[in-house]
Every structure is written in C-alpha cells, then in structure tokens.
Amino acid sequence: MYDYLILGNGYCGSRLIKKIKNARITSRIPESSEQIYFDLNDKDSWSSLPEAKIVIWTFACKNQENELLFYEYLLKKSQQIIIYSTSSVYKHEFDNQVITESTPLKLDNPRLIAEERLRKLGANIFTLSGIFGPQRDPKNWLLKGLIKNPQKTVNLIHVDDIITLTLELADLSLSSRRINLCSGVSDSWSKLAAHYAYRFPDELKEDTILRKTVKSEVLETLLGKNHSFLRATDFSSLS
C-alpha cells in the first residue's frame, strides 16, 4: 500500500509527488511509467488505481453522478480522502469581507454541492486561495492585462505552502472537515503592481468592487503553531 495517491498531474499534483517518497500520481495522458492512467469518466481506468492510505483529489468537482460512485470506490482502497476546493464557494456579500470556514456557502454552486455531498461522507475539503509559485508569477497576470482594477484584492498562497499544510493536516487523520489553506492576508493589485514596477494603463476604469480577505479559524488550532507563509512580495522573480 502506498502512503499517498495523487489524483491529477496539474500544478499542485506534479509538485506534491516530488515531496512524497511512497506515492503514485495519475494523469489522463501519462508521460512516463511513473504516472498511472486515470480519467474519472473512464470507469475502466479506476481499477488501475493502487491502494493508498491517503488520496489527494486535486481537480475540481463538477457535481457529476460518477463522482459519488468514484468516491465510494475510493473508500474501499484508502483511509482518508482530501479534495482541493476554491474560496469562490463562499458567499462574498460586502466590501472588505473576511471569509472564514464559518462564512455561508453558495448552496446553489454545483462545485459546492458536490464537495458537501462528499464531505458529509467523510472527505476533507481544503479550500485554496490564488496559487502562485515557479512558472506562476502574479506579475504575468498583470502583463497579460487580466487585472482590470488596481484596487481589486487577491488572496495568494504559494504552492509550497499548500504542500506543507496538506501533508501536516493529513497526518492528523481528520474527517469531514472544510479547512481554508490561506495566509489570512490579502494583497491589493496596486501594491503588487508597485512591487513589480508595473503601471496600469491610464485609461483603465476603476469600477466599484467588493474586496475580501480569506482567513482560517482552525489552522493554528489544528497544527498547534503559526505557519510562516511565503508571500508574493517576497519574490522579485519566481521563474
């Protein structure tokens, strides 16, 4: 039996596998013998998954019926299942709102519906903020013109923090928890732009926006310590 099975070879999954010795990772298009072919919509691929103490489900739930069937299948092959989520499943209702695990959820959101169904069956849901790290520099979002309002806030978490927190929390053998993996500090794009010496276009229109800060009420209690988060503004280059 493996210690970990990582479902998905994306940005987080491909870095998780490098930090864990006794683990396997899946891919819809395996690039090497180290990867196992798996596609949620291909039930024949499920049988190729090995037993593992902990499964980390890195791709988004879509509220499909086969997700429930697959989860029930995983329960026969694992002891704990962790699913990555996004802070967008929380209701953001007013400016400068602080989002925590107690914040009401968007109960009509398909992803949230799927996650809650699995959480009630024992899955742990780890909610992630905006992910940055090597080859994923916030500066590029500015250069591509993706940010239209400099006053907009972003809640960032470095991929290394996600990995560290995921492994530490997995060791606690939790069940049916929703936990925000976040620093509790939001950055304004105007501050990040100044850090990167980027100037927003003069004609850019600053529409009224709702800002938010994502925090965790439970991380410190669960881990018994404060995690020292990496910050976007600590890096002049992430490439």
Q: What is the pLDDT of residues 35-82, one digit of tens each?
A: 999 999 999 999 999 999 999 999 999 999 899 999 999 999 999 999
> Which pLDDT value is given to residue 229?
93
Q: How far apart are CA 53 and CA 73, in angstroms?
A: 14
pLDDT on residue 203: 74
- For 124-138, what is the mean pLDDT? 94
Predicted confidence band of residue 239 (pLDDT cuts 50, 70, 90): very low
- Tell me what pLDDT residue 237 has: 41
- Give the start-to-end residue ranges of the domains of the chain: 2-133+157-184+215-234
Q: State residue 202's pLDDT score.
A: 80
Residue 236 has pLDDT above 50, yes or no: no
Q: Is 70 exceeded by the pLDDT of residue 215?
A: yes
The pLDDT-based confidence of 205 (bands split at 50, 70, 90) is: low
Mean pLDDT (the chain) is 93
Domain 2-133+157-184+215-234 has CATH 3.40.50.720: yes
- 10 Å Cβ neighbour count for 219? 21
Higher per-residue pLDDT: 117 or 152: 117
